[in-house]
Structure 1
Amino acid sequence: MQRRTRAAVLAALTIGLTGGCADGKEAPSAGGSPSASPSVTASPVTPGPPWHDEVVAAPAGTTVGGKGTPCELPVTFSVPAKWKVEAVKGSAKFGEPRLGKALMLCEIDARPTGSTGFLRVWRVDGVAGGAQAHLKYFLDAYAPKTTDAVYRRVKAGTVDAVEASYPKKDGGTVHDRAIAISSLYGPIVLSLDTSDPVELLPAYQLVKQSARINRD
């Protein structure tokens, strides 16, 4: 587990969770790298690229993040049935699973369902600011060469969040995603690591629509 996780961290990994709607105006495009401070505004439901809000959420199977679950987190959310949920811990050999100040807390594996991809949950330590600053830091660490990212404020379930969509390295009309969800303990970043975002967009939508603050 540690060897595979470490390799994935050093390679590429990113997010996906989808679909609630928020009131306000459409978010402008933030050209250039995520390093350039993006202007984020609230966004309505947006079908098609880059958000694909029309994708229907997958049926809920397992709740992640609650007390007594494999990963106890500041937020809870649902994932499809049969996804394998596992807390991520460091080791003496490989150290903590980090991307800079971003520490991986939980990994949720889609492979038992026949799909390929991972949903990963991160905590970003020592970064000033709210969800936008934490998400920007994560993208800078995860995909430093990314260009043409766009950002928007959304509701992840009932929780305030900031979402990013940015082109995959190999192109394609469906972009990679990352989202920072505000919690009682600061923003938590969720990323969907998959070679085929189209296949896992329904799971992404489910996670995003079912997010709640964990008050346990």
Structure 2
Amino acid sequence: MRHPIRVLVPALVAAGALTGCAGTTPEPDHVVQPAKSPAAEAAKAAGSVGAAGSACELPVSFGLAADWRPAAVKATDDEVFAALGKQGPATMVCEIDAKPAGNIGYLRVWTAGTGPARTALEGFVKAEQNTSKVSYKETKAGALPVVEVTYTVYNKLMEESKEESAFAVAAPKGTVIVHLGGLDSQEHREMLPAYELARGTLKGL
């Protein structure tokens, strides 16, 4: 089965504003429970990526949230890929688009050759400009030991910092970094269930 391979190009995105309002306090017998935000809802797998025959063949596999669309990224020698498709020791190999699911952002998969997961992840984050609040932790993804990082990146265009998350695993066929960004922190938080699904269903191949 053949799948489309995307050559990396910059994405054009538009931001939306969220507003809220306060109401009166309900009577104790009629307490209104607050609606759960999208980030509070656990995502269920509606497919997977990574295994032979999937949209992106990777050293690992993991579950995909509903309507997230994966596409393999083809490395090229042009300046666009050099700027956007490489970060520190890592090269982007798969891009999973959240727009069909209603969010602006991607879950991106990078490979960094063989070696310790933390070394690759630290090099990946250090290569990002304008980072702050960087925090690493050793944890597990599925049954595999991983290193996870959370941090913020200052977006000069938006004039604000936005949250980012990533985890790295040293798989037998190479180190893999799975990264979630987003247009802004609100989008990032709404997409976290898909990221957590990927982390929780991770398997080595």
TM above 0.5, one fold? yes
Higher normalized contact order (CA 8 Å, seq sep 6+, divided by chain length): 1
1:85-124 pair list within 5 angstroms: 85-91=70-76, 93-94=78-79, 97-124=85-112
Change in CA separation of 1:99 and 1:153 when aligned onto 2, cut-off 3 Å = same
Shift of 1:153: 0.5
Matched, 1:136 2:158: no
Partner of 2:133: 148
Shift of 1:61: 0.7
Q: Residue 201 of structure 1 aligns to which amino acid in structure 2?
A: L
One of 137, 140, 150 as aligned partner of 1:165: 150
1:144-176 deviation digits (Å, cap 9, x = unpaired) = 33122111001011111000011242246xx31
1:111-163 deviation digits (Å, cap 9, x = unpaired) = 1112111011001248xx5111010001111x233122111001011111000
Q: Residue 90 of structure 2 aligns to which amino acid in structure 1?
A: A
Matched, 1:187 2:168: no
One of 44, 63, 73 as aligned partner of 2:48: 63
Partner of 1:42: none
Q: Residue 115 of structure 1 aligns to which amino acid in structure 2?
A: N
Query: The residue matched to 2:131 in structure 1 has which SS?
Result: coil
Shift of 1:55: 4.3
Q: Residue 213 of structure 1 aligns to which amino acid in structure 2?
A: G
1:198-209 pair list within 5 angstroms: 198-209=189-200
Q: Following the alignment from structure 1 to structure 2, what is the Cα–Cα distance between the partners of residues 163 and 92?
A: 30
Q: Following the alignment from structure 2 to structure 1, what is the Cα–Cα distance between the partners of residues 173 and 41?
A: 30
Residue correspondences, number: 162
Aligned-pair RMSD on alpha carbons? 2.1
Larger relative strand fraction: 2
Shift of 1:185: 2.1
Change in CA separation of 1:6 and 1:98 when aligned onto 2, cut-off 3 Å = farther
Q: Following the alignment from structure 2 to structure 1, what is the Cα–Cα distance between the partners of residues 88 and 196?
A: 27
Structure 1 segments of 4 or more deviating over 6 A? none
Query: The residue matched to 2:195 in structure 1 has which SS?
Result: helix
* Greater Rg over alpha carbons, structure: 2
Q: Following the alignment from structure 2 to structure 1, what is the Cα–Cα distance between the partners of residues 203 and 88?
A: 27
Change in CA separation of 1:138 and 1:100 when aligned onto 2, cut-off 3 Å = closer
Q: Following the alignment from structure 2 to structure 1, what is the Cα–Cα distance between the partners of residues 64 and 123?
A: 25
Unaligned runs of 5+ in 2: 1-5, 12-38, 155-159
Unaligned runs of 5+ in 1: 9-53
1:48-59 pair list within 5 angstroms: 55-59=40-44
Contact 2:88–2:126 (Cα < 8 Å) also in 1: no
